[in-house]
Amino acid sequence: MNIIENIKTQAIENGKQVVFKSRMGQLSYLQLWNKSEQVAQWIKDNVTGKNEINPIVIYGHKNPLMLASFFGSTKAGRTYCPVDRCMPIERIEDIIETVENDYVLMTENLVERICKEDPQREADVEKINEYTYRMSNVNFIDVNALLVAAFEDVDDSLVELVNEESYLGKDDVYYIIFTSGSTGKPKGVQITRSSLENYLDWSTEVGDSIGAKHGKHFLNQAPYSFDLSVMDTYTSLVSGGTLISVDKELQQDTAALVKYIKENEVNYWVSTPSFAAMCLSEPSYCQEELDSLKFFMFCGETLSKETSEKLMERFPKAKIINTYGPTESTVAVTSIEVTRELLADEKSIPIGYEKHGTEILILADSTEGQEVTIAKHDEIGELVILGNTLSIGYYKNEVKTAEAFKTIIYKGREVPAYFTGDAGFKNKDGMIFFLGRIDRQVKLHGYRIELGDIESNLTKIKEITQAAVIPKKVDGVIKQLVAFIVSDKLNEDYDSRKYVRNQLQEMIPKYMVPKKIVVLDKMPLTNNGKIDYKRMETLV
C-alpha cells in the first residue's frame, strides 16, 4: 500500500470524482491533490527551524480542507495531529502546547472561538496577514484564506509543487491522535506511515475487495480526533471512494441525517455501535429508504446482539462487520461478519479473528525476562497485541509508553507488544471475545463484578435497546450499581424497574443485579459517539 501513490493515481485517472462531501462543501480528487500540494509547499517554506520536526495541529470539523491539510502535511514530510472542534478549548490548548509547534492550521477560526470564551485574550491577538493570527507566540493559519491569498485555484490539471523526496517516509510518524484517557493528561498515540499502510492493506479488503470499494460512498461519522475516522477516511481515499461526512449538528437530527445519507447514496456505514443504535429510534432508518447501504462497519465499543438483530431486520440486504482495536494498534486489528448463525451460536458478539500481520495473545501472566503465560481457550486474560500496526509509543511520554508498550518473550523470542488493558478470551477455534476494560471490573461487597457482563445481560431483555452500568461510590468505595437503560416500551415507573430487576435475576447472580434502574429517553453519548460513562458517573 502506498497512500500517496493511490491518491495520485485517482487524481490523474478520476480527477473529477468527489473525494469528500459534507454540508460544509466538497472536493474532487484532483482538487485534493492540488490543494494539498499548495499546503505542502507553504508548510515547507514557512514552518521551519525547530518546527520542522514537531507535529502540526490541524483544527476544524467536517470541512473539506481538513483532508487537504492532512495530506499537505504528509507531502511536506510532517506529522499531523487532528483536533476536532468538539474538544474543549482547554484541551486543545493543552495539545498545542504539548506538540510545541509555532504553527497551527485551522479550517475554522479557533482564535475567534478562544476570544469569545475569554474576551481578555483578544488583546494578545495580532493579525499578521490575510491568513495568519498570532496569539501567545503561536501562528494560527486559516487554511482557506491562505489558499485564496497565496495560490491560484487549479482544477483542470495536476499541480506538482513539492518533490517526492519531501514526502513522509515509511518509518516517520504519520499522525498523532490524542486519546481521551480515562484519567489524567491525554496521551498522544504516534502512528507511523508503515503502520497506517499495513492497516489499510487489510481494511480495504474487509467485507469486500478494494476493487469493489472503488467509486463507492463511505459514511464518516467520527470526528477526526477519533481514530475511527481513519477507518472510513483512509479506506475510502486509497480505494478511490467518496466520503460522505456528517457534521455534529446533523448527527443530532436523525431524520435529517437519514435524508442526507439517502441523497448521497452511502454504501458503507462506518460508526460506533451506539451511534447506529441511536439512529434505530428513527423509523426511516431502514433499507427501503437507504437502498444503497451494503455494509455496516463498527468499531470503538461493544456491539450488542440487540443492535445487530435490529439492524438485520431493518436492513436485510446489508452485512454487519464488527471490528476491534485500540488507537495504539492503528484503528482495528480484528474483524468478523455478524450473521444470524453467529448470533444464535454465541452468547455475545465476538470481535473475531486477527488481521494478517497481527497476533493477539490472551495473557494469563507475565514476568519480565521470562516466557509469557498464555491463557488456555475460554480462559480470561488481558488482550496483548503484537504485529505490524503497533504505535511506536506516546508522544513525549516515556512513562506511559513504558507502562503499555513492553518487550515480551513469546515463543522464545523478544517481541514488542502492546498491553491493551482489555479483558477477553479466545475460544477453541481462536475466535476472540472482548469482555470490557480490565478497570471496568469492580468489587462490590467482596464480589468481583464485570460491569460489561451486566450490560450485555440487560440488553438481552427484549424491551431494552441500550444499557450502561455505573458504580456508585461513597468515599471511594463502591456501594451500589446503577443501571441506565434505554427502552421504547418501558416507562419510568416501579413496575418497569421491578420487571428489569426480576428479568436480570433470572440471568445473573443477585449480587450483580443493579439496585437502581434508571430509564432514559436517550443514552448520553460522547463527542466521538460512544456511551458517555463519565457523564453518567455524575448522575449517580
Partner 1 sequence: MEEKILDILEELCGDEVVREDLDIDLLEEGLLDSLDYSELLVDIKSELNVVISPSEVTREEMNTPRKIIDKVKSKLQ
Could you say whether residue 494 binds partner 1 (CB under 8 A)?
yes
Q: Which residue in the set 16, 185, 515, 535 belongs to the binding site for partner 1 (CB under 8 A)?
A: 515
Nearer Cβ to partner 1 (262/516): 516
Could you say whether residue 498 binds partner 1 (CB under 8 A)?
yes
Could you say whether residue 510 binds partner 1 (CB under 8 A)?
yes
Could you say whether residue 501 binds partner 1 (CB under 8 A)?
yes
Q: How many residues bind partner 1 (CB under 8 A)?
A: 14
- Tell me how far, at minimum, the Cβ of 448 lies from partner 1, in Å: 17
Could you say whether residue 480 binds partner 1 (CB under 8 A)?
yes
135: Cβ contacts below 8 Å, ≥ 6 apart = 111, 114, 121, 124, 125, 126
Residue 482 phi, psi (nearest 5)? -120, 130
The residue range among 13-21, 62-70, 262-270, 493-501 that interacts with partner 1, by the rule CB under 8 A, is 493-501
Question: What are the grid coordinates assigned to 281, written together?
Answer: 429510534
- Pairing of the two strands 373-374 and 477-486: unpaired
Could you say whether residue 517 binds partner 1 (CB under 8 A)?
yes
- Pairing of the two strands 173-179 and 187-192: antiparallel
The cell 474576551 sits on which residue?
119
The residue range among 120-128, 326-334, 410-418, 497-505 that interacts with partner 1, by the rule CB under 8 A, is 497-505
Nearer Cβ to partner 1 (75/497): 497
Measured CA to CA in angstroms, residue 288 lies from 114, 274, 313 at distances of: 45, 22, 12
Q: What CA–CA distance (Å, rounded) separates 99 from 227?
A: 18
Measured CA to CA in angstroms, residue 470 lies from 108, 216, 248, 456, 478 at distances of: 37, 40, 26, 14, 10
Could you say whether residue 497 binds partner 1 (CB under 8 A)?
yes
Four-residue CA torsion sign, 28, 229, 76, 150: positive
Nearer Cβ to partner 1 (116/515): 515
Could you say whether residue 104 binds partner 1 (CB under 8 A)?
no
- Tell me how far, at minimum, the Cβ of 517 lies from partner 1, in Å: 8
464: Cβ contacts below 8 Å, ≥ 6 apart = 306, 458, 485, 486, 487, 490, 500
Could you say whether residue 473 binds partner 1 (CB under 8 A)?
no
- Tell me how far, at minimum, the Cβ of 427 lies from partner 1, in Å: 35
Angle, alpha carbons 68-74-80 (nearest 5°): 85
Contact by Cβ (8 Å): 407, 414:
yes
Residues comprising the chain, all counted: 540
- Tell me how far, at minimum, the Cβ of 464 lies from partner 1, in Å: 17
The cell 499531523 sits on which residue?
80
The residue range among 66-74, 83-91, 235-243, 498-506 that interacts with partner 1, by the rule CB under 8 A, is 498-506
Nearer Cβ to partner 1 (277/504): 504
- Tell me how far, at minimum, the Cβ of 339 lies from partner 1, in Å: 38
Q: Which residue in the set 411, 413, 428, 445 belongs to the binding site for partner 1 (CB under 8 A)?
A: 445
Q: Which residue in the set 516, 524, 532, 533 belongs to the binding site for partner 1 (CB under 8 A)?
A: 516
- Tell me how far, at minimum, the Cβ of 516 lies from partner 1, in Å: 3
Burial of 474 (0-12, 13-18, 19+ CB in 10 A): exposed
The residue range among 174-182, 209-217, 258-266, 515-523 that interacts with partner 1, by the rule CB under 8 A, is 515-523
Q: What CA–CA distance (Å, rounded) separates 305 from 322?
A: 11
Enumerate binding residues for partner 1 (CB under 8 A): 445, 480, 482, 494, 497-498, 501-502, 505, 510, 514-517
